[in-house]
Structure 1
Amino acid sequence: MQKRLSIQSCLGAFLWIMIMIIFSIELIESLLAFSFLILVPFALKITSSGLENEFIYKLFQVTILLQVPAALLGSISLVMAPGVLSGVFAIGWLAYTVLLGIYGVSRLIYRGLSPLEETMIDGAFIYTILGGGWLVLHRFAVEGLPFPSVIVLLTAIHFHYSAFILPIFTGLLGRYFYRNDIKLRGLTFIMISVLAGPMIVAAGITFGGFAEFLSVVFYVGVLYWLSVITIWYMLKGKGSRLGRFCVGVSSICLVGTMTLSFLYSYGITFGPFLLTIPDMALFHGVGNAFGYAFVGIIGWFMLNVKPRDQYYSIPISRMRERRLDPSFVKGDSYVTCLIDSIEEFKSDEFDPLLVHPSIQRFYEDTTKFRLVATTTWHCGFRMLSKLYHKITGDIGQLHLQPYLKDEQEQEMTGTIHAIKQELDGRVKPRVWWRQDKETDKTIFFAIYSHHDHQDKRYMNIALPLPKSVMTGILRVENDEDNGLILTSKKTTNYCGHAGIYLTIKKVTSRLPMEESFHIQVSSEGKLTAKHDLTFFGFRCLTINYKIFPMKNN
């Protein structure tokens, strides 16, 4: 696919030159066609590393296959006079930008909002939808808009350059800084401002007058700051010299084009007009397209910066059943443990020898222990707990006690069964079926497995739901004593797979939830565990477990 994108970029360059030779096309329209035919395939190429997830990769493949036909439709619409036929061709490009937007959203919901440099890239693809929409409005020559036709066209080009190329380059700079261990104060502010900048400027233009000038001043100031740090670190950084040179030249061009934006906005607000729209198209537009975007894309292509981690390669269970069926259990399916050995999770960050022997026995001989749980719902979630209790009771999964003023203990019974690996799709899957001892109702039906990533083994726990599955990917850690922590919380550098995910069919999204399970041995030798769950950073519930050996153990 990478080779195909290179070929498509070269083909796009050839087609763009042919369009310029054959047709009498205006400057602004030619810059839009340049983006369709050349910049978009290059942008897909330099940002596409690490797309291991089946759904996202297939979506990526479709965007590649449709890029040239869609770019041709958009370009044909630009060589025609505005009207119905031109608008119909432009719809082809709009449909493609919707596909790019879905691609960006899919990356975002699978990975979550961090790391921020990847969100910049996601946002760039999502923004193209607005560019496609404004293009259609212009090519249909829609009347009654509060802007003249040329402003509508310039807005379309704005969302194909400032809102597309700028966030991508800023995201790639974030990757470069991470890969070269560069920590820069203010980078987060710059990234958020670059991503929000197009909408801030759009809001300023809507209000007009001094508000427009202030929005431009803010945006230009941020881009000056971005350009200076880019030039500085390209001068002293690592990687291809020619690549760094191109990125540095690109940033110098950005300083020039942003200065023109400031002068144009100043003239509109305070007068006299220092630059006209044709002047801006010639100097600002050409400078952005060739000096900033094209030279920058060549530079980042040569630097070839990879994302900090492979975020899209998490094994997801295929199981959707919440009952034990002879067709999917494995032979004599009864097993006694959740994991074969805690030693399997040894890594640079986890030493199993530091874990108390009683905790090791619990995980390696689980059925010889019984659990008594007390569920505590925290303020803000208590009113919802009764509805939650009813729904989860109906589906037979995650069926926790509702909020009670006088909290009650709930003893759980359970069995562990091996699942056929070919049905689940993960390594050594085994289901821990926990029930309420008094009512026999299912509380949890969790299928345990594990997977390895970056020299680290994660617990991979699937909770089948109706036509979907929730997956908890838990990192294994030591605590300060001799206890054990299982957590889905992200690391400080946002690497790793830990998180809670929901998969509907083949579409996986990261949920705004985190859980941690802390099991320890008290000074009296008693085994206890605390299971905390947060939603959007707010604690919603805590389950405290008392863990007892069976009497015959």
Structure 2
Amino acid sequence: MDTAPDRSALLGAVLWLVVPVLISLGRIAHLFLLVPLVLVPLVLRMVTPDSRTPLHRIAILGQPFGAVLVALSFVVSPGLVAGVLVLPWLATTVAVALLGFARLLPRGFRPLEELCLNAGLLYIAVGGCWLLISRLGVNPLGFGDAIVFFTAVHFHYAGFVLPVVVGLTGRAIDDDHVRRFYRPIATVVVFGPGLIALGISLSPIVEVASVTVLTLSVMSFALLLILGVVPTRSNRRQQISLIGAAVAVGISMLFALGYGLSQYLGTPIANLSIGRMVQIHGHLNALGFALLGIVGWRLSTPSPRFEDPTPSIPFSSLTSTWRVGEDYVERTGIEADGGSKPVGQVDEFSTYARHDFDTESVHTAVRNFYERTSEYTLSYRTHWHRGFRLGARIAALFTSSFEQLNLPLPRTASKTANSRIIDIDDSVDGRENVRAWVRTDSETGSAVFVAAYSTHEYAGETYMNVSLPLPGSNLSGILRIDSLDSAEHEGAIRLTSKRRTPGGHSGLYLVTPFVPIRLPMHEEFRVWSASDTPGTTGAMATSETTLIAQHEMWLFGRQFLTIDYAITPTASPKTRAAEPELD
């Protein structure tokens, strides 16, 4: 089946050439059919070469039948019959979009070129919906027949083909200077088609602005392709195809800008009527950019710069019912039988040693805490940042109920948590050397955090692998540990979920029964000796406090939570009374 898309594209090309003889078609409809008949199977072969999953099979097998029926739908007038003929193509585009989701969810928004490819796979389903609406003869929001059909064309070309070509181009860019120009272009290409459609529906200003920005970005992409990418390719036929694609789209965008300017000035430029502009723009985009661009990259398809790392991450299989709670381990029967009982998050901190991280340079108090976690009491206070406090109050309604991630509300006094470390049956969890760290509120006894800790190695790095059971899923944090480069905190460490490279394992994932979802969040812990205590956490510390830690979290790049910790050996006297209120 791996060669089926190429065979389908070849047969589709033959059909596309003869279909005007068999069916009376308008020029735009004929150009549109190039996508389902020829370009989609070529893209499926390049972007999703693995045909073993059900989604791949549905997309690959459904494409030729759906494409032929789309062509037949143009034989009849818009209505119920034409709409029914389009349904198999809509199902195919939905399967392609689900492939895009399956690629997007574990990867997240990085690397950017893969996000472009995923966006293209997602947008085509929108095009399939608009094509169904067009062939049914429905005019939503008062749009005319032409606008509805052009919207379907827009999402098949600007929504599907353009991001795919830009994404494949990004795979071929190794030069950092070229990538610096590529990033803003690719970002516009990902979001531009959707913004244009939104502008058409809601706001002419948004439409004009989106069209202008996308047009300039595509023209910039044409230059980048010719000057920054083509010279690096060794395949002569590919070079010719990509140059042709770049020249075609550059000229096409010039015509689009000229027409837009003539509309703005109210004066025709070069006799650019809407009919003439659509024909020139359409032919250059379809036969020039789309066909040459897709065929050009099919001649020698660049491999992803970074493979999806999630298949190699050993995620925990632990989940919960509605309630997690302090007795989660005992209630679910996952405690290991016999053997030595762990007392820390890791048996030996030296497990995390690597060529650029000397664990012996870490402060002794820090290492002791990770090796003997259950022997410490944690005093902590939370600060929910502006804009997230209402969300924190709403979330607390649920977290307090299932006793997990059960953090204090905004403006709540600092609290104290007790710790237990419990050995977990590795065969149940699915990872190695697993232990649960259960933190409970010292006043109420309710669980604050219930997390299962393990480690795993990948590409010469040992990661801290933390899993928090949730109803039907778990939240997994894959953390990289480094020395904290700070003159103020000698021997301190930093744990972060932020990836240094797109191919690394670090990240926060919602692990579902179907697919791990990389969340648009990251967290960072900093841990240092109490002798370097800053004023922000000093109020919770006593003379017996040995460590200070700070936990920060970001959502879409915006910080929403800071937790300050004062960590004291359990045998020490109680920590001082908590401060009454926080700002």
Can you list the C-alpha shifts for 1:378-404, whole angstroms capped at 9, x where unaligned?
343555555544532321222233345
In the aligned structure 2, how far is the partner of 1:494 from the partner of 1:543? 29
Q: Distance in 2 between matches of 1:535 and 1:324?
A: 30
Which residues in structure 2 correspond to 1:256-267 (within 5 Å)?
A: 256-266=251-261
Q: Residues 474-495 of structure 1: CA distance to partner in whole angstroms, max 9, x if unpaired?
A: 111111232222111243x544
Which one-letter code corresponds to 2:104 in the other structure?
L
Provide closer, same or farther for how the CA distance between residues 101 and 488 of structure 1 changes in structure 2, counting only shifts above 3 A: same
Q: Quote the offset at 1:281 in angstroms.
A: 5.7
1:394 is aligned to 401
Does 2:360 correspond to 1:363?
no
How far 1:355 moved relative to its partner?
2.0
TM-score by length of 1: 0.86
Aligned to 1:236: 231
Q: 1:317 aligns to what SS in structure 2?
A: coil
State the partner residue of 2:566. 545
Query: Which residue in 2 is equivalent to 1:308?
Result: 306
Q: Mapping of 1:141-180 within 5 angstroms? A: 141-142=137-138, 146-177=142-173, 179-180=174-175
2:343/2:371 contact within 8 Å kept = yes
- CA offset at residue 549 of structure 1? 6.6
Q: Deviations over 1:217-249 (max 9, x none)?
A: 544332222111110013432554443342222
Deviation at 1:6, TM superposition (A): 3.2
For structure 2, the 5+ residue unaligned runs are: 533-544, 573-583
Q: CA deviation at 1:201?
A: 4.6
Aligned to 2:37: 37
Asked whether the 8 Å contact 2:317–2:429 carries over to 1, the reply is yes
1:529 matched to which residue of 2? 549
Following superposition, the deviation at residue 279 of structure 1 comes to: 4.3
**Is 1:373 equivalent to 2:379 in the alignment?**
yes
Structural mapping, 1:268-307, within 5 Å:
269-271=266-268, 274-275=271-272, 279-280=276-277, 282-301=279-298, 302-307=300-305
Correspondence for 2:440:
435
Q: Residues 129-162 of structure 1, C-alpha deviation per residue, up to 9 Å, x if partnerless? A: 3322332232122358755434433332222112
Equivalent residue in structure 2 for 1:68, among 64, 70, 73: 64
**Which residue of structure 1 aligns with residue 419 of structure 2?**
413
Cα distance between partner residues in 1 of 2:564 and 2:47: 42
Equivalence for 2:469: 464
Residue identity in the other structure for 1:418: I
**1:319 corresponds to which residue?**
318
- Looking at structure 2, the residues matched to 485 and 267 of structure 1 have their Cα atoms a distance apart, in angstroms, of 57
Query: Corresponding residue for 1:482?
Result: 491
Question: For 1:225, which of 220, 225, 228 is the aligned residue?
Answer: 220
Shift of 1:346: 3.2
Q: Which range moves more in the overlay, 279-288 or 119-128?
A: 279-288
Provide closer, same or farther for how the CA distance between residues 23 and 348 of structure 1 changes in structure 2, counting only shifts above 3 A: farther
Letter of the 2:523 partner, please give it: E
1:333-352 aligned within 5 A: 334-352=341-359
State the 1:442 CA deviation: 2.1
Match of 2:579 in 1: none
SS at match of 2:406: coil
Instruction: Report which stretch shifted further, 396-405 or 314-323.
Output: 396-405
Quote the Cα distance in structure 2 between the aligned partners of 1:331 and 1:362: 25
Distance 1:143 1:494, change over 3 A: closer
Q: CA 1:235–1:191 in 2, change beyond 3 Å: closer, same or farther?
A: closer
Cα distance, 1:170–1:327 mapped onto 2, change above 3 Å? same
Q: Is the 8 A contact 1:377 1:385 kept in 2?
A: no
Q: Is the 8 A contact 1:86 1:140 kept in 2?
A: yes
The one-letter code matched in structure 2 to 1:538 is Q
TM-score by length of 2: 0.82
**Distance across 1 between alignment mates of 2:397 and 2:40:** 49
Contact kept in structure 2, 1:234 and 1:248, CA below 8 Å = no
Whole-Å separation in 1 of the counterparts to 2:496 and 2:23? 61
Query: What is the letter of the counterpart of residue 526 of structure 1?
Result: T
Aligned to 1:455: 460
Equivalent residues of 1:359, 1:519 under 8 A apart: yes
Alignment of 1:515 onto 2:523? yes
Q: Distance in 2 between matches of 1:445 and 1:206?
A: 47
Q: Give the superposition deviation at 1:354.
A: 2.5
**CA, structure 1 residues 121+410, in 2 after alignment: closer, same or farther (shift >3 Å)?**
same
Which residues of 2 match residues 79-158 of structure 1 at below 5 A?
A: 79-142=75-138, 146-158=142-154
Q: 3-state SS of the aligned residue for 2:110?
A: coil
Residues 385, 453 of structure 1: alpha-carbon distance in 2 compared, 3 angstrom cutoff: same
SS in 1 for 2:527: strand
> What CA distance in whole angstroms lies between the structure 2 residues aligned with 1:384 and 1:232?
48
| Contact 1:234-1:245 at 8 Å conserved across structures | no
1:284 and 1:469, CA in 2 relative to 1: closer, same or farther beyond 3 A?
same
Q: CA deviation at 1:199?
A: 4.5
Residue identity opposite 1:310 in structure 2: D
Give secondary structure in 2 for the equivalent of 1:308. Answer: coil
Task: Give the match's secondary structure for 2:509.
Answer: strand
